[in-house]
Each structure stands twice: as structure tokens, then as C-alpha cells.
Homo-oligomer: A and B are copies of this chain.
Amino acid sequence: MTFSFELLTEDTHTAARAGMIHTPHGDIPTPVFAPVGTQATVKTLTPTDLQELGATLILSNTYHLYLRPGADLIADFGGLHKFMQWPRPILTDSGGFQVFSLEGLRKIDDDGVTFRSHIDGSYHRFTPESVIAVEEKLGADIIMAFDECPPPQDYDYNIKALARTHRWAERCQAAQTRSDQALYGIVQGGIFADLRAQSAEFLAALDFPGYGIGGLSVGETKAQMHEMLEVMHPLLPRHKPRYLMGVGSPEDLFECVARGVDQFDCVLPTRIARNGAVFTQQGRVNLRNARFAQDKNPIEADCHCYTCRTFSLAYLRHLLIAQEILALRLTTLHNLHFMLDTMRRIRQSILDGTFEEYKNRFLASYQPVKSRQ
């Protein structure tokens, strides 16, 4: 097994941790934010762009790649790294979240899930065994167990789904044939402390090399998400990385690192960029706003990304209003730089023992988009 996790520092004021994940395709300093490359590309960017941004891990989606271009094709190219020419670590999800989001197009049983493709309506079936086979063909450094993602507020449903997720976790472990991929189990349990605790303990006993935390940031409040992280923190193995799936916003990075999370991924920075929204230290702004029409300043004066080093707000707004493709690339570059750079600063502050101070300073300035607190 060429995968390992070094826990380097634990913060004394919070549950924040700094560490290093070692993988066959290089090291991942943690905590880490992974840009999302759903279809074997982080939208608008080249692998060179991502390396220049300092990305150390990207996520790609098993469900999408399984449907198109197909796992066999990617295997024939020697795996996803070679297919998309990304030389650094990759994580693939299990497709569970996507499949369970196909409302009306999927049917769950204890053995697996039958679903219809969102592309052409064709029928397909995922089981723990078939998903692991696909993830082995894709060849990511970190692969995720196939889990069920139930509605977070339905206690009875969560009890049933959790039992299935746990059986499937064992089946994924048993199905794994490659020794060069780290298979993470995924803790579920909705917004229920007893189920989260039960899940963390059950999966900890299976001794996975890392743990995904699923079923959060799917409609519950921030307070509920934070409470669940606090419940799981002491129960998950201290020397294994914890990956909060599908999270988050800039403020989430601070709040969840403070609760022991080592790994994140989220489409937010790239998705909002394509709508013209960019992160700043004061919060999110939309560059289509007329107040930027004549503004000679960059998005952020002290940002070191290519977009801010090169272009004015007025030019970026012009590109957006004129529906120019370059706009989407430049806003994506900025937003990913913002997330990756913020995470680098978070990590350094943990190593320096100043994380709580940095967290307070950032959150005092950053105005989150209104959401349920």
C-alpha cells in the first residue's frame, strides 16, 4: 500500500489538524481543497493551469465518466491521469450521490441501484462490486465506497439506509483488487447524532485508510452540519484523513477545519465563476454589476492570480456582458486561486499555532451569502 497519512500538527484551540497524505501520484498537504473535474476536466482549465494554481488533488465523478466516455476507454488509456493528462493525485467519488439525486430515474434495493442515464435514458445498475470495478478502471489515488445518500431529516429512512451503507462498505472492501488505491469508507446518518456516532464507530472498526463524511451540505442548517462534525470528531481514527464531501464555501473551510476536517471538494468556486460571481475577502460579488463598468482595479488588489495581476474589473465585466468564453476561464482561475490560497494559509496558520486568530480575522471580514444558520 503506497498510501499513507501523516498527522503533523493538531491545533490546541480547535480540532484543526495539519498533515500530509502520500499517494502514488504525489503528496497532498492537508487540509486540502480539491477542485472538481466532473467529466475529466476542471471546467475551462488545463492541467497546466491547475498545476500553476497549486492544486494538489482534484475530484472526478465516477457516475459521469462511467456513462461517458466509459471506464473501459479510460482504462485503455492507462487510467484517468493519463487520459486527462493530470499528473497529480485524483479522487473519484462512487457515483452514489449522483445516482441517488436522479429522482424518479432510479430504484434502490439491498443489492444496489438501477438507474437511467441523464444523457440518453438508458438503464444501468450500480452495486458496491460494480462501482469498485469502475473506480479501479479509472485508477484514481483515492476511491470512495458506494453509499446511499438519504434525505438528511428522515430518521426512519436514515436507519435503513445506514444499514445498507454499512453492508455496502464491507462489500466494497471485499471487492477491491488493486493495492495502489486508497478506499475511503463514508460515514452517513443524516442530522442524527446517534446514527452519525454509530456509523463512525462501525466504519472505524473496518479500518479504512481514510473516511468520507457524506450526506451533509444537502439541505440541513450550518449548525446541524457543525454539530454532526463535532459528534464524529472523537470517534473517527485520529491518524486517518477525514474528507467532508461536497463542501464547501470559503467560510465552510474555516468552520469545518476547526472541527477536524482534512479534505474538501466543492463545485461552488467553479460553478459560480461561470455565472460571473467571484470571491473576495469581503464576500462574494457579481462582476456583471454595473458599478464595475468603469472600474480600473482588479478583483482584489493583493491577489496574485493571473486574472488579478492582468485585468481590470471593467474588462472582466465587458467580457461577461459580451458573453465571451474567456470571462469564465478568468473568473474560474480567480475563484480556485482564492480557495487554494485560503487553504494554504489555513494550513500554515495551523502549523504556526495561529489558526484560530486567522479564522476570526477572515470571518470578521468575509460576509457569507445568506443561508440557513
Contact = CB atoms under 8 A, between A and B. Distances in A.
Interface residues of A, number: 36
Given A69-B293, A69-B314, A314-B69, A326 B83 contact: no
A73 interface: yes
A68 interface: yes
Tell me the number of copies of this protein. Answer: 2
A41 B324 contact: yes
A48 B85 CA distance: 21
A326 B44 contact: yes
Contacts of A328: 325
A318 B40 contact: yes
Interface in A315-337: 315, 318-319, 321-322, 324-326, 328-330
Contacts of A311: 85
Contact of A329 (B44, B294, B330): B44
A45 interface: yes
Given A47-B310, A77-B312, A325 B325 contact: yes
Interface string A69-96: 1000100110000011100000000000
A312 B318 CA distance: 34
Interface of A: 39-41, 43-48, 68-69, 73, 76-77, 83-85, 293-294, 296, 306, 310-312, 314-315, 318-319, 321-322, 324-326, 328-330
